[in-house]
Amino acid sequence: MTTKQAPSTLQKMGLDTPMALALHLPSRYEDETELLTIEEAIHQGRFNSAQTQGAVIRNQVLFRPRRQMIVTIEDETETLNLRFLNFYPSQQKQMAVGVNIRVRGEVREGFQGPEMVHPTVRAVAPDAPLPVSLTPVYPASVGVSQTIIRKAVTQALREPSLQDSLAEFLPKELMAELLPSHDWPNLQAAITYLHQPPADANTQALLERTHPAWRRVQFEELLAQQISLKRAHAIRRERHAPSFPRAKKQSLEGGLLKVLPFKLTNAQDRVWSEISNDLSQSFPMNRLLQGDVGSGKTVVAALAAARVMDHGYQAAIMAPTEILAEQHYLKMKEWFEPLGVKIAWLSGSLKAKEKRLAQEVIENGQAQLIIGTHALIQENVSFAKLGLAVIDEQHRFGVRQRLEIQQRVGSELFYCHQLMMSATPIPRTLAMTYYADLDVSVIDELPPGRKPIATKVVKASRRDEVIGGLQSWLSKGLQAYWVCPLIEESEVLQLQTAVESFEQLTQALPDFKVGLVHGRLKAEEKAAVMAAFKANEIQLLVATTVIEVGVDVPNAALMVIEHAERFGYAQIHQLRGRVGRGSADSVCILMYAEPLSMAAKERLQTLRETSDGFVIAERDLSLRGPGELLGAKQSGDAMLRFVDLQRDAWLIELAQQAAERLLAEHADLVERHLERWLGSRAEFLKA
């Protein structure tokens, strides 16, 4: 009987093959190639890391002012104290009196003379040779030492199987043509260099990841991603989907255009034409509809749903939050119920009986249009004949969730058309990488009558002044939002802050009705407050970020965002878009508390100066990285490990060109390249 061996700490980190270890590249380097005398280290090591060595002449544990270990070393030039505030008995033995140790750290002036606090320490012979290359420092999990990783990586680099995995197989003529002016090493040489850079290496270029060795690795990774996306695009076109050409009678599509109280803008007309063309194809649409807050994406989605229903198929609209899904539901009811469309509502908060009834009408096909939250992609939901899935605020769903709806709605014969919508514009670099499998439509025009929103930045110390201005605003018959701070650490704290603001504003504004909405309210209570606000029975709505998306009250033309420094670019941009929907001049006040960090100051300044969603999205990308904008963090998989989309943007086009050439001329190399770089992660790039 054999016992199953527990996975090692390296296996838990995913470092279970020579290739995985080879691609576990250093995050920084330490220069252990130079050894100073203690006297030199004391002079040169202030505010800089220095390496020296000496024999331990004293090792004592003190208990005042707190428990600490003080080790004193000396050489022929000077003595130096090493201070350890956290230490183990094994370290006391390692640094016993008489042992020769090599230490590295910053030197500073301590109570008892020059000292290093928590330096790196190694016991060595007095004449032990110095390393000939910079010492790599690797990303590591708790409990995994750098020594373990370094040994494992060094061993992996010697493995014969790795030589095959890193073999150069990209055609030389292709590389020479695409990269004529780039003198990059081959992949194996690049990876070896990054793990073992020589003492005279350009450390700055290594740390900034602009060194030719890094460039080669980044190019190869981007190439794998581009190949995967282009293949996914081609595979989608081979799948079979129901074709929905423009119906001759256009019963619902034409009827919807007649009942709408407005004409489509030119931009809406253009994107509807693009979507209409997609729906008439016999392969599944995979289109992203971008448009700033309030640009009219919902109308276009409704037209797509009408087209599908005209052909006897169902359409589903999925939103990430109940409040947004509910806004869609109310809007669709207003437009479609007069046309005789049966609409089903499905969310996690429904009672068991209501949920069961909704599932029945979805499954038997009575429901033509289905609207809900992620409850739509749960196992017990079966569609009778789903032709279109609309996913709103798509970046709020994880990659896995987007795949799930794609897989769920597909059958052996048909795949469903997909329309993703986002009010957060996708920066160009993101569109070229993670969204390369999507066709993108942009509504770049606001409906007529929409006025620009004036944004003001105000200190929290002027709160009473802001409340005074709010009073005169409400006296004109207009409404307003007061948004409470985002406190990620505690939903309870966030609620408490909202309740306090609600009570203070109710007291300060006795002539007006103040309402409160937050995440802890039941769905029906939220709906009641929102309905009262829409009907102007409530003049001031105090809210947490539940109103971030989907709320449409044209008479609400003022928004105050409390502690605006705690919000990100996209959140403030989304919140600000709740005003400016009527004919009145609209204002958004960003109230902040001091002191402000440099990042917060820059963020508020950018938001005051521009309402261009694309400019804001680019800044957001540089701040947060692609993971959060994509919803990739929810999948648990980082999709580009070595590429920074802004720093390395120029590489993306080169990788795109190389991917096209490889797919067209060297199909035999494509699989090898994908397996080397992506393995099982390739499926994420099809989402």
**Domain 453-610 maps to which CATH number in 2.60.40.10, 3.40.1190.20, 3.10.640.10, 3.40.50.300?**
3.40.50.300
Closest CA to 667 of 657, 659, 675: 659
DSSP track, 618-682: HHHHHHH-HHHHHTGGGGT--S-SS--TTTTHHHHHHHHHHHHHHHHH-HHHHHHHHHHHTGGGG
Closest CA to 81 of 54, 52, 113: 113
pLDDT digits (tens, 9 = 90+) for 343-402: 999 887 788 888 889 889 988 889 999 998 877 777 678 888 889 989 887 554 444 444
Domain assignments of the chain as residue spans, ordered by start = 9-22+153-201, 34-130, 218-239+641-675+679-686, 251-443, 453-610
106, 46 contact by CB (below 8 A) = yes
CATH T-level fold of 251-443: Rossmann fold (3.40.50)
80, 73 contact by CB (below 8 A) = yes
Q: How far apart are CA 298 and CA 165, in angstroms?
A: 49
pLDDT digits (tens, 9 = 90+) for 164-200: 888 888 888 888 887 777 788 889 999 999 999 988 8
Q: Do domains 251-443 and 453-610 have the same CATH topology?
A: yes
What is the side-by-side strand order in the sheet with 113-117?
Answer: 108-110, 113-117, 79-84, 68-74, 49-62, 100-106, 120-123
pLDDT digits (tens, 9 = 90+) for 536-570: 999 999 987 666 445 678 888 888 988 888 887 77
Q: How far apart are the first and last CA of the chain?
A: 44
**Domain 34-130 maps to which CATH number in 3.40.50.2300, 2.40.50.140, 1.10.10.10, 3.40.50.720?**
2.40.50.140
Model pLDDT, residue 403: 47
Q: How far apart are CA 373 and CA 324, in angstroms?
A: 9
pLDDT band at 271 (very low <50, low <70, confident <90, very high): very high
φ/ψ of 149, rounded to 5, equals: -65, -45
Please give the structure tokens belonging to residue 663: 């797919």
pLDDT digits (tens, 9 = 90+) for 493-522: 555 677 888 898 999 999 999 998 877 777
Q: Is 432 helix (H, G, I), strand (E, B) or coil?
A: helix
Q: Is 597 helix (H, G, I), strand (E, B) or coil?
A: coil
282, 270 contact by CB (below 8 A) = no
Cis peptide leading into 65, omega within 30 of 0?
A: yes
284, 417 contact by CB (below 8 A) = yes
Q: Is the pLDDT of residue 612 over 50?
A: yes
Q: Is the pLDDT of residue 407 over 60?
A: no
Cis peptide leading into 595, omega within 30 of 0?
A: yes
